């Protein structure tokens, strides 16, 4: 086994950076592999084009005949781009994307070879759905599921395949994927926000949620990564002693990007450009071999698709460059893990950012309305937001002494805090003309200047306002952003619906003017949601205690965090907004718990295997060397060998102790696993893995890592942290 490590280390010296030959202008190749406006107009009739447009902007249905026309245009375009196959591209609840390729190629009845693709193949397909998680939905209702075209996310050619973004639902219409609830949440926020925006601008007919994600990841040399069974199987290291140098010198962050990595990024970015993913920034992150990539923000559904797609493209491109890409939230102990900040905002159809202060007091009141309603939504639903980012991997970050905490709080900065404090003092009911003028001049009117100075960004907050958007930082690096985006848009949609009702009631029943009514409701919201706001150090123990006093949740693991999904309040929220029915929500709850239990089960097996079949035998080999040495000393020195060989004897004993502990702990762990596997209730099963199996990980690792320090480097089989993190 140790030979794999040394072979990989040898090979790394011969690996050279690989740069794509031609650097084309990004603007020239952007979206050339996307079936967008331009290509649609070139390859479709005017009528077919209009049908798609209406489907996207007005939600109109596309009938079978129209679909046939669209399919022909799409096929001809795809073939012109070198596509031979097509696939419905969807995001099942496994967390990754799924595709099944079918060739355009077909034979007519007379045996003549042709390329075929018709409307029915475009609109709907029936993948063999039985192997995707359904949380019991398909058992209860109907065994089959189907994929259906989502015309709001354009088709694209990747490699030689035309990929058609689709939703994945059961025959009874229940969602089996991340996209379906997301689309429903986006539709809910569109209507709710449009209604509210009309207080300020009657012409607005559409509001889009926007998302700009920032993807963190690690790159490890492929040979080195594959020499570690834990990285290969679990995507993270389960043991390994900390290297002498980690991230303490802060010399990696924003440092010069290594050549092999630049080669990878360059090819990746070119592929992204072709696929219409507007990647913009790239830089080294805090930890060694950790990097970040971020695009320009887009409409949320498209941005989620693009994030899912890019993770696949990154995986493949990394492989070409002899790297293994790690999306796991915590691939290495002792250094930073990876997240995926979700920058979120709301934008009108005309492109006005509703979370950006404007140039007039009225525009600023509009800003404050959306700003304060978002805070209120988070206040009311912090537990659901926490649940939306819960996963076995993310448990290593959230609440585990690392960015960000498991407590969801909102940071808004000193200046906006002052604005909200002043608004809190607004009189109840009708406002005097003097008060109105003062408000407009001194509070609402001053916001733009204020924000420009508001540069003190708090990096420790899970949900921070950063000038013209909120940044949800608790999302895991491996997660599909769809879950977090579904919850965020749903809770804000619900909040805006409530707001509209309250403001209308004040106008209709109390005879208040529109702006008076808005001020009155906002004042109450500011008061009611104060406890979710926190400006201090979110990583400190003081904040944990303070949050507890305030009654904000602090769930440190997935089984606990997910519980809220079963609450009456959550069910009502999702049902009332039309985002998910109770069965869909329950299914999701079960699937996530099952996935959690499976992940911990797999990790536990891997750890048991590495500890007992790699570490212990190696330690015994080394111990035998020492024993032979001591026997030799005894031959030479006779009775005094104990003094001469004191160090060796001590080592032999230490090794024996660690081996004994590894054996003992892994036996106990295996027993707990056996017991857990007898549990049928998904939540109890997840809890058993969380509270009974997982605690052994640290114990077993401790003794393995101690042995790594004792055993001769030459025979140690597992590639070490310093090699994984610093060689490329």
Residues of the shown chain interacting with Mg ion in the complex, contacts defined by CB under 5 A: 214, 341
Rank residues 264 and 344 by Cβ distance to ligand ADP and give the closer one.
Answer: 344
Q: Are 235 and 476 in contact (CB under 8 A)?
A: no
- Residue 199 CB contacts under 8 Å (≥ 6 apart), including other chains: 366, 369, 503, 514, 518
- Residue 365 CB contacts under 8 Å (≥ 6 apart), including other chains: 200, 444, 515, 518, 519
DSSP 8-state secondary structure symbol assigned to residue 178: S
Rank residues 85 and 341 by Cβ distance to ligand ADP and give the closer one.
Answer: 341
Question: Which partner in Mg ion, ligand ADP, none is near 686 (CB below 5 to 8 A by kind)?
Answer: none
Q: Maximum CA pair distance of the chain?
A: 105
Instruction: Assign 158 to helix, strand or coil.
Output: strand
Q: Is 345 in the site for ligand ADP (CB under 6 A)?
A: yes
Rank residues 132 and 344 by Cβ distance to ligand ADP and give the closer one.
Answer: 344
CB-based burial label for 384 (10 Å; 0-12, 13-18, 19+): buried
Distance CA 279, CA 477 (A): 17
DSSP secondary structure letters along 234-293: HSS-S--PPPS-SSTT--STT-PPPHHHHHHHHHHHHHHHHTT--EEEEEE-SSTTEEEE
Distance of closest approach, residue 445 Cβ to ligand ADP, in angstroms: 23
Rank residues 174 and 214 by Cβ distance to Mg ion and give the closer one.
Answer: 214
Distance CA 534, CA 547 (A): 9
Question: Which partner in Mg ion, ligand ADP, none is near 211 (CB below 5 to 8 A by kind)?
Answer: ligand ADP
- Residue 144 CB contacts under 8 Å (≥ 6 apart), including other chains: 126, 129, 138, 170, 171
Rank residues 149 and 344 by Cβ distance to ligand ADP and give the closer one.
Answer: 344
Nearest Cα neighbor of 269 from 281, 254, 252, 284 is 281
Question: Which partner in Mg ion, ligand ADP, none is near 305 (CB below 5 to 8 A by kind)?
Answer: none
Question: Which partner in ligand ADP, Mg ion, none is near 458 (CB below 5 to 8 A by kind)?
Answer: none
Distance CA 445, CA 437 (A): 10
Question: Which partner in ligand ADP, Mg ion, none is near 134 (CB below 5 to 8 A by kind)?
Answer: none
Q: How many residues bind ligand ADP (CB under 6 A)?
A: 16
Q: Is 469 in the site for ligand ADP (CB under 6 A)?
A: yes
Tell me the window of 5-13, 252-260, 341-349, 448-456 that interacts with ligand ADP (CB under 6 A): 341-349
- 506-530: buried (b, 16+ CB within 10 Å) or exposed (e) per residue? bbeeeebeebbbbbbbbbebbeebe
Among 199, 344, 499, 641, binds ligand ADP (CB under 6 A): 344
Q: Is 210 in the site for ligand ADP (CB under 6 A)?
A: yes
Chain length of the chain: 728
Return the residue matching tokens 């926020």: 189
Q: Is 505 in the site for ligand ADP (CB under 6 A)?
A: no
Rank residues 294 and 392 by Cβ distance to ligand ADP and give the closer one.
Answer: 294
Tell me the window of 339-347, 406-414, 427-435, 664-672 that interacts with ligand ADP (CB under 6 A): 339-347
Q: Is 343 in the site for ligand ADP (CB under 6 A)?
A: yes
Extract the tokens encoding 230: 């834990």
Distance of closest approach, residue 416 Cβ to Mg ion, in angstroms: 18
**Displacement of CA 240 from its chain's centroid (Å):** 26
Question: Which partner in ligand ADP, Mg ion, none is near 344 (CB below 5 to 8 A by kind)?
Answer: ligand ADP
Distance of closest approach, residue 469 Cβ to ligand ADP, in angstroms: 4
Taking residues 531 to 570 in sequence order and writing x for each that binds ligand ADP by CB under 6 A, - otherwise, the string is ----------------------------------------
Q: Is 466 in the site for ligand ADP (CB under 6 A)?
A: yes
Tell me the window of 81-89, 184-192, 249-257, 291-299 that interacts with ligand ADP (CB under 6 A): 291-299
DSSP secondary structure letters along 17-42: ----S----HHHHTTTTB--HHHHHH
Distance of closest approach, residue 178 Cβ to ligand ADP, in angstroms: 19
Kindly give the pairing relationship between strand 207-221 and strand 290-295: antiparallel
Rank residues 145 and 538 by Cβ distance to ligand ADP and give the closer one.
Answer: 538
Q: Are 91 and 165 in contact (CB under 8 A)?
A: no
Distance CA 40, CA 81 (A): 13
Rank residues 214 and 672 by Cβ distance to ligand ADP and give the closer one.
Answer: 214
Among 47, 103, 296, 602, binds ligand ADP (CB under 6 A): 296
Among 152, 468, 601, 654, binds ligand ADP (CB under 6 A): 468
- Name the closest residue to ligand ADP (Cβ): 212
Distance CA 138, CA 133 (A): 9
Rank residues 199 and 472 by Cβ distance to Mg ion and give the closer one.
Answer: 472
Q: Is 288 in the site for ligand ADP (CB under 6 A)?
A: no
Among 179, 184, 297, 328, binds ligand ADP (CB under 6 A): 297
Rank residues 102 and 535 by Cβ distance to Mg ion and give the closer one.
Answer: 535
Percent helix, strand, coil in the chain, to 5, is 55, 15, 30
Distance of closest approach, residue 292 Cβ to ligand ADP, in angstroms: 7
Rank residues 213 and 641 by Cβ distance to Mg ion and give the closer one.
Answer: 213
Extract the tokens encoding 716: 């140690």
Question: Which partner in Mg ion, ligand ADP, none is near 228 (CB below 5 to 8 A by kind)?
Answer: none
Q: Is 214 in the site for ligand ADP (CB under 6 A)?
A: yes
Distance CA 460, CA 448 (A): 25
Q: Are 220 and 9 in contact (CB under 8 A)?
A: no
Q: Is 294 in the site for ligand ADP (CB under 6 A)?
A: yes
Q: Is 493 in the site for ligand ADP (CB under 6 A)?
A: no
Q: Is 492 in the site for ligand ADP (CB under 6 A)?
A: no
- Residue 704 CB contacts under 8 Å (≥ 6 apart), including other chains: 239, 610, 611, 615, 658, 662
Extract the tokens encoding 669: 């762990």
CA distances 321 to 5, 20, 233, 254, Å, are: 19, 11, 21, 22
Q: Is 337 in the site for ligand ADP (CB under 6 A)?
A: no
Rank residues 186 and 231 by Cβ distance to ligand ADP and give the closer one.
Answer: 186
Distance of closest approach, residue 603 Cβ to ligand ADP, in angstroms: 31
Q: Is 211 in the site for ligand ADP (CB under 6 A)?
A: yes
Q: Is 212 in the site for ligand ADP (CB under 6 A)?
A: yes
Distance CA 628, CA 641 (A): 13
- Name the closest residue to Mg ion (Cβ): 341
CB-based burial label for 350 (10 Å; 0-12, 13-18, 19+): exposed
Distance of closest approach, residue 472 Cβ to Mg ion, in angstroms: 10
Rank residues 214 and 382 by Cβ distance to Mg ion and give the closer one.
Answer: 214
Distance of closest approach, residue 190 Cβ to ligand ADP, in angstroms: 15
Rank residues 20 and 296 by Cβ distance to ligand ADP and give the closer one.
Answer: 296
Rank residues 212 and 361 by Cβ distance to ligand ADP and give the closer one.
Answer: 212
Rank residues 330 and 341 by Cβ distance to Mg ion and give the closer one.
Answer: 341
Q: Is 452 in the site for ligand ADP (CB under 6 A)?
A: no
Q: Is 353 in the site for ligand ADP (CB under 6 A)?
A: yes
Which spans of this chain sit near ligand ADP (rule: CB under 6 A)? 210-212, 214, 294-297, 341, 343-345, 353, 466, 468-469
């Amino acid at each position: 086994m140790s030979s794999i490590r040394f072979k990989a280390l040898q090979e790394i010296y011969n690996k050279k950076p690989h740069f794509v030959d031609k650097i084309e202008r990004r603007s020239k190749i952007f979206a050339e592999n996307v079936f967008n406006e331009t290509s649609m107009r070139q390859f479709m009739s005017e009528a077919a084009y209009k049908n798609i447009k209406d489907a996207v902007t007005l939600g109109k249905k596309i009938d079978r005949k129209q679909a046939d026309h669209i399919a022909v245009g799409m096929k001809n375009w795809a073939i012109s781009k070198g596509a031979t196959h097509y696939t419905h591209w969807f995001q099942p609840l496994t967390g990754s994307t799924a595709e099944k390729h079918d060739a355009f190629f077909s034979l007519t009845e007379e045996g003549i070879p042709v390329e075929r693709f018709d409307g029915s193949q475009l609109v709907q397909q029936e993948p063999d759905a039985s192997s995707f998680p359904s949380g019991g939905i398909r058992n209860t209702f109907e065994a089959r599921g189907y994929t259906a075209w989502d015309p709001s996310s354009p088709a694209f050619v990747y490699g030689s395949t035309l990929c058609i973004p689709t939703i994945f639902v059961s025959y009874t219409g229940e969602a089996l994927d991340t996209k379906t609830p997301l689309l429903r949440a986006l539709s809910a926020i569109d209507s709710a926000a449009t209604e509210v925006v009309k207080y300020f601008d009657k012409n607005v007919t559409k509001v889009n949620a926007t998302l700009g994600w920032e993807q963190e990841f690690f790159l490890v040399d492929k040979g080195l990564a594959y020499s570690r069974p834990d990285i290969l199987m679990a995507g993270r290291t389960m043991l390994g002693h900390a290297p002498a140098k980690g991230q303490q010198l802060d010399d990696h962050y924003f440092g010069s990007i290594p050549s092999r990595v630049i080669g990878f990024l360059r090819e990746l970015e070119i592929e992204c450009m072709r696929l219409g993913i507007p990647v913009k920034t790239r830089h080294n992150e805090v930890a060694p071999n950790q990097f970040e990539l971020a695009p320009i923000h887009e409409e949320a559904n498209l941005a989620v698709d693009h994030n899912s797609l890019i993770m696949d493209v990154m995986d493949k491109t990394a492989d070409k460059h002899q790297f293994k890409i790690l999306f796991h939230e915590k691939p290495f102990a002792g250094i930073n893990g990876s997240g995926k900040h979700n920058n979120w905002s709301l934008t009108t159809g005309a492109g006005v950012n509703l979370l950006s202060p404007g140039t007039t007091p009225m525009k600023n009141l509009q800003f404050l309305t959306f700003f304060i309603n978002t805070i209120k939504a988070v206040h009311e639903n912090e537990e659901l937001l926490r649940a939306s980012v819960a996963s076995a991997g993310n448990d290593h970050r959230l609440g585990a002494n690392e960015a960000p905490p498991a407590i969801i709080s909102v940071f808004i900065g000193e200046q906006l805090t002052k604005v909200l404090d002043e608004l809190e003092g607004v009189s109840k009911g009708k406002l005097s003309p003097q008060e109105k003028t003062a408000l407009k001049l001194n509070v609402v009117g001053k916001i733009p200047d204020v924000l420009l100075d508001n540069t003190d960004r708090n990096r420790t907050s899970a949900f921070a306002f950063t000038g013209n958007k909120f940044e949800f930082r608790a999302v895991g690096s491996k997660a599909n952003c769809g879950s977090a985006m579904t919850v965020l848009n749903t809770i804000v949609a619900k909040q805006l619906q409530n707001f509209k009702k309250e403001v209308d009631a004040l106008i209709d029943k109390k005879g208040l003017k529109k702006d008076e009514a808005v001020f009155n409701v906002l004042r109450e919201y500011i008061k009611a949601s104060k406890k979710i706001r926190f400006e201090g150090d979110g990583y400190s123990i003081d904040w944990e205690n303070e949050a507890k006093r305030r009654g904000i949740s602090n769930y440190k693991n997935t089984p606990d965090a997910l519980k809220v999904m079963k609450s009456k309040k959550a069910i009502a929220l999702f049902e009332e907004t039309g985002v998910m029915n109770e069965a869909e929500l329950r299914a999701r709850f079960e699937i996530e718990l099952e996935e959690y239990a499976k992940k911990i089960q797999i990790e536990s097996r891997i750890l048991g295997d590495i500890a007992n079949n790699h570490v212990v035998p190696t330690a015994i080999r080394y111990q035998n060397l020492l024993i032979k040495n001591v026997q030799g000393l005894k031959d030479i020195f006779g009775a005094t060998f104990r003094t001469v060989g004191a160090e060796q004897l001590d080592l032999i004993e230490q090794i024996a102790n660690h081996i004994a502990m590894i054996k003992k702990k892994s036996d106990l762990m295996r027993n707990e696993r056996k017991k857990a596997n007898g549990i049928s209730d998904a939540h109890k099963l997840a809890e058993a893995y969380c509270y009974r199996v997982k605690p052994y990980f640290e114990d077993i690792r401790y003794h393995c890592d101690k042995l790594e320090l004792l055993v001769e480097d030459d025979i140690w089989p597992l590639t070490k942290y310093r090699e994984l993190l610093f060689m490329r």
